[in-house]
Structure 1
Amino acid sequence: MHEMAIAQGILEIALDTAASHGAGKITRVRVLAGELTGVVPEALDFGFNALAAGTIAAGACLAVQVIPLMGRCRDCGQLDNISKYRFICEQCGSSAIDIVSGRELTVESVEVE
């Protein structure tokens, strides 16, 4: 379960952000997780809550937005959702696909009190 390691990183970022702003409590952490990362939001939430216990992030809401895997064909320029990791252009059949979204794993924001 790689979500536990990811949750640890998210918690560290949130705690550092809160400390740099002199906050006493973290209420919400927003995360963007690309489909290609394979992150299971429920497992990430479980890991985050377990690690946050006893910190100023205890009870914080972890809001995970899954970003779809999208690719652009280098041959025809078509932008499409890549389903089932099939990197083939639906328009022209080319396999020259550049990933434009779906790889990100970012803490978008940390809400504090």
Structure 2
Amino acid sequence: MSSVRRQRWDAGHAGVVHRTRARSNYYGPERVGPSSAAGEPAMHEAALTQGLVNILLKEAARHQVRSITLVRLKVGRMKAVEPQALVFCFGAFTEGTLAEGAELIIEPVPAVATCRGCGGDFEVIKFHFQCPRCQSRDVVLIQGDELYIESFDA
């Protein structure tokens, strides 16, 4: 079994991603197998999943992979992605491909911002962009807008 690491796909976010000690109250990590189903998916998730699957298949071809058994995604909280819709779309877009039936693991990334006033980092909860230390709203998002393939197993 081989594993291909970190193919980043980040729609529209050119910022640097930092690791932090912040904890998230966000869902996950959510493990969902190929037999899971959800209701009607949102267009947002469909477009994102189509792009992810295209990248996944290109990387698999580049590495001469014959089948994909597991895919790990990192999804930032600010992407506002519904995990069940993403899983539904993943199943639909991988049908008939070498990734059909692959397990999808969605690992959430908490939203973290840095305050320009006091320099402190804090987790952004419920889109509340205000520093809990100094109450400033002059903040910069440093993490939580990601969407990328962390790895896949073949």
Q: TM-score range by the shorter chain?
A: over 0.9
Given residue 58 of structure 1, which amino acid in structure 2 is its aligned partner? E
Helix, strand or coil at the partner of 1:76 = coil
Rounded to whole Å, the distance in 2 between the matches of 1:107 and 1:39 is 14
What is the aligned length?
Answer: 112
Q: Where does structure 1 differ by over 2 angstroms across 4 or more consecutive aligned residues?
A: none
Q: Does 1:30 align with 2:72?
A: yes
Match of 2:28 in 1: none
Considering fraction of residues, name the structure with more helix: 1
Shift of 1:33: 0.9
Matched to 1:57, the amino acid is A
2:145 paired with 1:100: no
Structure 1: 5+ residue runs without aligned partners? none
Paired position in structure 2 for 1:68: 110
Local SS of the residue matching 1:110: strand
| 2:60 equivalent to 1:18 | yes
Q: Which runs of 5+ in 2 are unaligned?
A: 1-41
Matches within 5 A, 1:40-55: 40-55=82-97
Contact 1:36 1:102 in 2 (8 A): yes
TM-score using structure 2 length: 0.70
Instruction: Give me the identity figure in percent.
Output: 38
TM-score (norm 1): 0.94
Write the distance in 1 (CA, Å) between the matches of 2:132 and 2:118.
10
Indicate the RMSD between aligned Cα atoms, in angstroms.
0.9
Greater strand content: 1
Which whole-Å CA distance do the structure 2 matches of 1:71 and 1:58 have between them?
37
The one-letter amino acid paired with 2:121 is L
Could you tell me which residue of structure 2 aligns to residue 8 of structure 1?
A: 50
1:28-81 deviations in Å (ceiling 9; x for gaps): 111111101101111101100111111111000111111111111111111111
Equivalent residue, structure 1, for 2:127: 85
Distance 1:23 1:89 in 2: 46
